[in-house]
């Protein structure tokens, strides 16, 4: 989620914002994103579009009023009346309990802990709460409080499986996986996230092969191997009886992944990191980078075989997690420092971002143009593209569309499987990159008629 840059002094009668006001606004947007993720983990359907609408709505109210702030969040993020008690509990916990410094002085048996045990928290918040209280007894109590709920959930799922499939467990498992593959990542429950991680770990990736300048010995090659030919025919004197041949050698293409981890991508970034870890361990010559306001190389962290440890190392090494977005500046650093190292030998570049950008569009245009000419194929994955009413109307996305070879969604498992099929078909032929082809591609992606003077 990105903030709108302040207007210049005197323009339209508005005053320029101070740097301190801009910093406070970004901090509030980060907190709202965290709150949206907490609601999502608690079972309330909250997506990026709702958070974007909420950010625009806050400009019309007095955020210093607690009552106005509460009802604005409630109207923007709550879409089911029966989930109102859960929303109120999560709101009280997030804004008044979780980060309260006075909690450190409370004893494990205090009234605050009893109030928190009265409602169920998602696993990530239970762990954080137990560590925050710094007491093993509290951790055991929280685990005991969650056990009955998990048992009831398993009993309900078993009963539903029996009713829906009439004793056919294989059909139920197949239909459940099919629904999971087509479901948007932002609507996943905690259990579905764990199942999606297991399905990602079972995926097998195959990137297209490239022709090299080297030749390898072959039984029926197109080229004569003169060195081996002379050596093998020494036993026949000067007669060339046995012909040895060589053929062009093929190697897999390098893959470079650049993933957005800004605040607007927070509901997708962690699950997409598991996807990047799967590709890194399934292919050779994979380089991975993440960016928010700066670029960070995470290739070394993703070499761990355990995906949870790898993601934990990435979160520790990245300093701008869930912050702002400067796509142009991040690509500038990549082109200056890393392009010569990782873009050789016909590399394929994969950018994962929603296109929300706080930087200058001129910088993004120059860097995207340079990146496209440096790689064999440039693919952009946008999680928001899976929505049927999505239009690439943000300035960053509109600027980048002119330099993209493939614009694909990345909102569910089926979209990732389709990406794997496309990667396996990449060959030596380059995509058409003239002005006419760009115009037709952008027209198809935006699903609208392009003006005649475009």
Beta-strand runs (E) in 219-276: 223-224, 245-252, 255-260
Of 132, 396, 124, 416, the C-alpha closest to 262 is 396
What six digits make up the tokens of 232?
A: 């093998």
State the DSSP code for 319. S
Which distant-in-sequence residues (6+ apart) come within 8 Å of 394 by Cβ?
355, 356, 357
Which distant-in-sequence residues (6+ apart) come within 8 Å of 36 by Cβ?
46, 50, 51, 77, 266, 267
- Other C-beta atoms within 10 Å of 422: how many? 14
The CA distance from 135 to 176, in Å, is: 39
The CA distance from 294 to 291, in Å, is: 5
- The secondary structure of 166-182, three-state, reads CCCHHHHHHHHHHHHHH
Of 326, 402, 339, 410, the C-alpha closest to 368 is 402
What six digits make up the tokens of 206?
A: 């195959």
State the DSSP code for 336. I
Residue 119: what pLDDT? Answer: 45
End-to-end CA distance of the chain: 29
Residue 99: what pLDDT? Answer: 63
How crowded is the C-beta side of 275, counted as CA atoms within 13 Å? 24
For 3, the enclosing helix (H) or strand (E) is: none
The CA distance from 420 to 418, in Å, is: 5
Task: Note whether 207 and 348 are within 8 A (CB).
Answer: yes
For the chain, domains (ranges, CATH) are 11-144 (no CATH), 217-251 (no CATH), 255-446 (3.40.50.410)
Residue 289: what pLDDT? Answer: 93
Handedness of CA 68, 73, 76, 82 (dihedral sign): negative
For 297, the enclosing helix (H) or strand (E) is: strand 295-297
Q: Which residues are 291's β-sheet partners?
A: 260, 295
Residue 303: what pLDDT? Answer: 85
The CA distance from 202 to 210, in Å, is: 26
Residue 14 phi, psi dihedral angles, 5° rounding: -95, 150
Residue 153: what pLDDT? Answer: 53
The CA distance from 325 to 358, in Å, is: 6
The CA distance from 292 to 262, in Å, is: 5
State the DSSP code for 452. T
Residue 333: what pLDDT? Answer: 93
Task: Note whether 259 and 276 are within 8 A (CB).
Answer: yes
The CA distance from 295 to 302, in Å, is: 16
pLDDT by residue, tens only, the chain of 454 residues: 444 444 444 444 455 667 777 777 778 888 888 888 888 877 788 888 888 888 888 888 888 888 888 888 888 888 777 788 888 888 888 888 776 655 444 444 444 444 444 444 455 445 444 444 443 443 344 444 444 445 455 555 555 554 444 444 444 445 677 888 888 887 888 888 888 888 888 888 878 777 888 888 888 888 888 888 888 888 887 677 888 888 888 888 889 999 998 888 877 888 888 888 888 887 888 899 999 888 999 999 888 888 888 888 888 888 777 777 889 999 999 999 998 888 888 889 999 998 888 888 899 999 999 999 999 999 999 988 888 888 888 888 988 998 999 999 988 888 888 888 888 888 888 888 888 888 888 888 876 443 443 3
| Angle between helix 19-41 and 266-282 (nearest 10) | 70
């Amino acid at each position: 989620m990105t903030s709108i840059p302040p207007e210049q002094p005197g323009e339209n009668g508005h005053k320029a914002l101070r740097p301190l006001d801009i910093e406070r606004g970004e901090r509030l947007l980060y907190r709202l994103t965290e709150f949206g993720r907490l609601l999502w983990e608690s079972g309330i359907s909250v997506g990026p579009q709702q958070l974007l609408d909420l950010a625009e709505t806050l400009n019309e109210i007095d955020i210093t009023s607690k009552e106005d702030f509460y009802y604005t969040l409630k109207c923007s993020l709550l879409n089911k009346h029966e989930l109102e008690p859960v929303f109120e509990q999560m709101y009280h916990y997030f804004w008044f309990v979780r980060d309260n410094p006075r909690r450190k002085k409370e004893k494990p048996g205090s009234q605050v802990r009893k109030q928190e045990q009265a409602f169920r928290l998602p696993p990530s918040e239970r762990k954080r709460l137990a560590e925050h209280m710094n007491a093993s007894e509290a951790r055991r109590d929280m685990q005991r409080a969650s056990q009955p709920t998990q048992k009831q959930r398993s009993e309900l799922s078993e009963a539903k499986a029996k009713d829906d499939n009439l004793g056919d467990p294989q059909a139920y498992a197949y239909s459940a996986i099919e629904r999971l593959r087509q479901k948007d990542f932002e609507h996943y429950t905690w259990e579905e996230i764990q199942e999606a991680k297991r399905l990602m770990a079972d995926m097998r990736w195959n990137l297209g092969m490239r022709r090299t300048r080297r030749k390898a010995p072959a039984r029926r090659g197109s080229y004569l191997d003169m060195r081996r030919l002379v050596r093998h025919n020494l036993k026949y004197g000067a007669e060339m009886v046995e012909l040895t041949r060589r053929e062009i050698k093929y190697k897999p293409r390098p893959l470079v992944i650049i993933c957005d981890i800004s605040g607007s991508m927070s509901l997708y970034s962690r699950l997409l990191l598991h996807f990047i870890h799967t590709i890194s361990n399934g292919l050779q010559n994979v380089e991975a980078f993440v960016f928010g306001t700066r670029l960070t190389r995470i290739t070394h962290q993703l070499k761990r075989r355990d995906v949870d440890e790898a993601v934990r190392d990435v979160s520790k090494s990245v300093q701008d997690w869930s912050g702002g977005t400067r796509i142009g500046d991040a690509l500038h650093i990549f082109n200056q420092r890393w392009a010569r190292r990782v873009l050789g030998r016909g590399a394929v570049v994969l950018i994962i971002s929603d296109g929300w950008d706080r930087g200058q569009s001129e910088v993004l245009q120059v860097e995207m143009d340079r990146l496209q000419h440096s790689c064999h194929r440039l693919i952009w994955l946008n999680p928001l593209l899976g929505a049927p009413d999505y239009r690439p109307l943000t300035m960053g996305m509109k600027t980048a569309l002119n330099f993209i070879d493939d614009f694909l969604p990345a909102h569910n498992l089926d979209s990732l499987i389709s990406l794997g099929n496309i990667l396996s078909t990449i060959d030596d032929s380059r995509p058409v990159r003239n002005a006419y082809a760009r115009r037709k591609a952008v027209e198809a992606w935006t699903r609208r008629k392009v003006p005649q003077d475009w």
